[in-house]
Amino acid sequence: MTRYPMQWIEAMTFCKTFDAKLAEVETAPEDTFLRHEANVYKALEKSFWIGGSDLIAEGKWMWMTSHTPVHYTNWNDGEPNNINGGEHCMDMLFYTSRHWNDERCDTVLPFICEKETSSPVIGMLVG
């Protein structure tokens, strides 16, 4: 998890510079892992960006780096709600036990990058 909050597109670009991507949460165990790791970093008591967006087509959430549809979800109650038609980027909300939310992409938040590795490193986060 980075200590340098950014807008969603900036965070996505930052991750790419390290051959990584904003975290794509594809399964319940992965979601649980990210929520647990976020709680370990108690200094970061904020929401944080993950890699989903519906910028291409409203209401059709995609993992933007891998260009795959979001199948597994863990939205907070009432989300995504696209308040005022301007919320197109995905974050995990701190105050809802890290359930997902749609947020304005120009909001400045911390973020988690995900990187594929060939070694079996467990519990390691990039970002």
Indicate if the pLDDT at residue 43 is higher than 60: no
For 105, the domain range is 8-114
Indicate if the pLDDT at residue 126 is higher than 50: no
Write down the pLDDT at residue 41.
67
Q: What CATH number is associated with residue 31?
A: 3.10.100.10
H or E stretch at 34 = helix 28-40
Mean pLDDT of 79-83: 93
SS3 content of the chain, % helix, strand, coil (to 5): 20, 20, 55
Residue 2 lies in a domain: no
Write down the pLDDT at residue 127.
45
Residue 127 lies in a domain: no
Mean pLDDT of 108-114: 91
Residue 63 lies in a domain: yes
Q: Can you count the helices (H) and strands (E) in the chain? A: 2, 7
Overall number of domains in the chain: 1
* pLDDT mean across residues, the chain: 87
Indicate if the pLDDT at residue 109 is higher than 60: yes
pLDDT in tens, 12-38: 999 999 999 999 999 999 999 888 887
Write down the pLDDT at residue 39.
75
Residue 29 lies in a domain: yes
Model confidence at 80, in pLDDT bands (50, 70, 90)? Answer: very high
**Cα gap 1→126, rounded to integer Å:** 7
